[in-house]
């Protein structure tokens, strides 16, 4: 027994029924709370979040996650209160939504692969983990195309790239590799299409420039990655604030410095970015600069209230 009667009732129900009305009610509440944040055109089978769509999701989470994958046992083992269990249910519902979408991504790629390659029927033990992971390492280097907002299932690869992937699978797994083997490779490679990535994509109004080819997309990704890792945390925060149209006064307040120093810091950071992109083709430069604000979202501090926006008159830590 704990000192939390509501939690005790949930534990008792789990011991006796595995999952009963109390857990079901908790899950229904969580689904009602989570779904409005997800575009129904992308995440709901019916295209809207009505009672029927929510019930489908509740059943999906219950049967496949809480019971088949024993995630209810995990939640009970990990939690010490109803609020902790609720938080884990929230996370599970979000993962289920994202996972269903990811399945669609891989299914579509496999559909396209079937038009390019005749798969052998599945039989025998299949390739070893080592050979599979070796193929995964090579496929991971194949460039991907950008994802567009509201796209139910991103295409991810061009047709030429798909041919390359099939060739890699053949080279590493032999000519008789199965569709299931290819699906395993894609599940490993497309891990980055999992929950947080999809949620971030949905939160944007931006899509990578469609006119860029896969090679240029790869350059954009490399430059952004290099920029992100070589800039200091302070530099990223300054740039993020300026790109979000925050005033020098706000930047000054954030760092406890004077307004002119804030402006100087931004100029230094801008020069740093300019140096990184100056030698790139104009189209790639534009793509990097368009993408940068979204990469820096996490570094953007919460706006201070008006009363807090007075910049200090003296430098506190320069």
Partner 1 sequence: MTSSPSLPSWLSDATAAHLSATNADVNAVDTADPAQASGATYALANEPAKGQIRRLEPMDADGTAARLVLVVNADSSSAAVQVVLLTNESEMGSDRDTRLTPDLTGLPYDVLALFDVTAPAWYVQLGPVLATIDLDEIEFLPPAGTPVAGPEDARWNWKQDEHDSLVRLSGECARQIVDEGVDNFVDPAALDLEAVSDVELALIVRATAPLMDRGRLCMPLEALRKLDAHRVDPQSRYWESVRCLLELVPRHDDLVIAEPLDRLPIAPRAHINNDQLVVALSAVMEKMPNTYRSLGLFTLGSLWQGETLNAWETSAQSTLHLKRATSGVWEMFVSGRRHQLVVHAVDETDAQTTTASGHLKTRRPAHA
Q: Which residues are at the interface with partner 1 (CB under 8 A)?
A: 1, 9, 12-13, 15-22, 24, 59, 62-63, 67-71, 73-74, 77-80, 83-84, 87-88, 95, 99, 129-130, 133, 136-137, 140, 187-189, 191-197, 200, 221, 224-225, 228-229, 295, 298
Nearest by Cα to 184 from 250, 120, 136, 243: 136
How many helical (H) and strand (E) elements, i.e. helices and strands, does the chain have? 15, 0
Q: How far is the CB of 48 from partner 1 (least distance, A)?
A: 22
Nearest by Cα to 204 from 288, 101, 145, 291: 291
Q: What is the DSSP letter of 212?
A: S
Q: How far is the CB of 15 from partner 1 (least distance, A)?
A: 5
Shorter beta-carbon distance to partner 1: residue 2 or 167: 2
Q: How far is the CB of 118 from partner 1 (least distance, A)?
A: 28
Shorter beta-carbon distance to partner 1: residue 101 or 253: 101
Shorter beta-carbon distance to partner 1: residue 37 or 70: 70
Q: How far is the CB of 117 from partner 1 (least distance, A)?
A: 23
Let me know: does 195 contact 98? Beta carbons within 8 Å. yes
Shorter beta-carbon distance to partner 1: residue 18 or 243: 18
CA-based torsion, 288, 294, 300, 304: positive or negative: positive
Give residues with Cβ within 8 angstroms of 106, minimum separation 6: 183, 186, 187, 190
Q: How far is the CB of 107 from partner 1 (least distance, A)?
A: 16
Shorter beta-carbon distance to partner 1: residue 1 or 302: 1
Q: How far is the CB of 49 from partner 1 (least distance, A)?
A: 20
Distance CA 4, CA 15 (A): 17
Q: How far is the CB of 24 from partner 1 (least distance, A)?
A: 6
Through-space distance between the first and last CA atoms of the chain, rounded to whole angstroms: 54
Distance CA 232, CA 269 (A): 10
Shorter beta-carbon distance to partner 1: residue 223 or 262: 223
Distance CA 160, CA 158 (A): 5
Residue located via tokens 């699978």: 169
Tokens describing residue 287: 């793509």
Shorter beta-carbon distance to partner 1: residue 119 or 294: 294
């Amino acid at each position: 027994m704990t000192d939390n009667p509501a939690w005790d009732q949930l534990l008792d129900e789990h011991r006796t029924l595995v999952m009963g009305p109390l857990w079901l009610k908790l899950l229904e509440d969580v689904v009602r709370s989570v779904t409005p944040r997800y575009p129904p055109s992308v995440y709901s089978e019916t295209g809207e979040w009505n009672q029927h769509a929510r019930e489908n999701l509740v059943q999906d989470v219950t049967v496949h996650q809480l019971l088949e994958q024993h995630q209810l046992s995990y939640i009970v083992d990990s939690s010490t209160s109803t609020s902790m269990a609720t938080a884990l249910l929230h996370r599970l519902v979000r993962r289920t939504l994202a996972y269903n979408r990811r399945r669609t991504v891989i299914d579509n790629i496999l559909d396209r692969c079937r038009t390019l390659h005749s798969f052998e029927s599945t039989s025998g033990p299949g390739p070893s983990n080592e050979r599979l992971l070796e193929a995964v390492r090579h496929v991971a280097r194949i460039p991907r195309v950008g994802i567009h907002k509201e796209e139910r299932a991103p295409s991810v690869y061009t047709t030429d790239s798909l041919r390359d992937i099939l060739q890699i699978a053949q080279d590493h797994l032999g000519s008789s590799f199965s569709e299931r083997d290819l699906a395993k490779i894609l599940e490993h490679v497309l891990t980055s299409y999992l929950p947080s990535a999809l949620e971030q994509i949905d939160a944007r109004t931006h899509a990578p420039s469609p006119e860029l080819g896969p090679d240029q997309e790869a350059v954009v990704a490399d430059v952004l990655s290099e920029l992100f890792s070589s800039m200091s945390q302070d530099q990223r925060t300054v740039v993020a604030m300026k790109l979000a149209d925050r005033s020098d006064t706000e930047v000054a307040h954030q760092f406890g410095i004077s307004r002119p120093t804030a402006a100087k810091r931004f100029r230094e950071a801008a020069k740093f970015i300019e140096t990184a992109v100056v030698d790139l083709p104009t189209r790639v430069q534009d793509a990097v600069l368009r993408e940068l604000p979204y990469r820096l979202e996490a570094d953007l501090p919460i706006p201070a209230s008006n009363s807090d926006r007075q910049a200090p008159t003296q430098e506190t830590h320069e």
